[in-house]
Structure 1
């Protein structure tokens, strides 16, 4: 689980970095690209976190 948590945190960090680059970009197509990347990374992080929650619930039911 710790590995998944670290991966989710890394995805969130990468998303924040993409958002920063998006905010600093001067070309519209680069802003759009980094915006899509930030949104995609946020979605991936949310999916990893959801999978962790689901796994924790399954393990709790077994105990």
Structure 2
């Protein structure tokens, strides 16, 4: 579970950095690319979070 959490935090950080670069970019092509990258990394983070939640629900309570 710690691996999932570390991956989730890394993806969220990378998505935020890509969004920052997008916001600072003056070139339209770079803005578009970093926008797509930020959205993609955000989606990956959402997928990891869903996997974490599904994994925790499937474990029996002890």
TM-score bucket (shorter structure): over 0.9
Q: What is the aligned partner in structure 2 of residue 53 from structure 1?
A: 53
Give 1:26 shift: 0.4
* Structure 1: stretches of 5+ with no match in the other structure: none
Is the aligned partner of 1:30 residue 2:8? no
Q: Per-residue displacement from partner, 1:25-54 (whole Å, max 9, x unpaired)?
A: 001010000000000000000000000000
Number of equivalences: 61
TM-score, L = length of structure 2: 0.95
TM-score, L = length of structure 1: 0.94
Q: What is the aligned partner in structure 2 of residue 4 from structure 1?
A: 4
Q: Distance in 2 between matches of 1:58 and 1:4?
A: 15
* Structure 2: stretches of 5+ with no match in the other structure: none
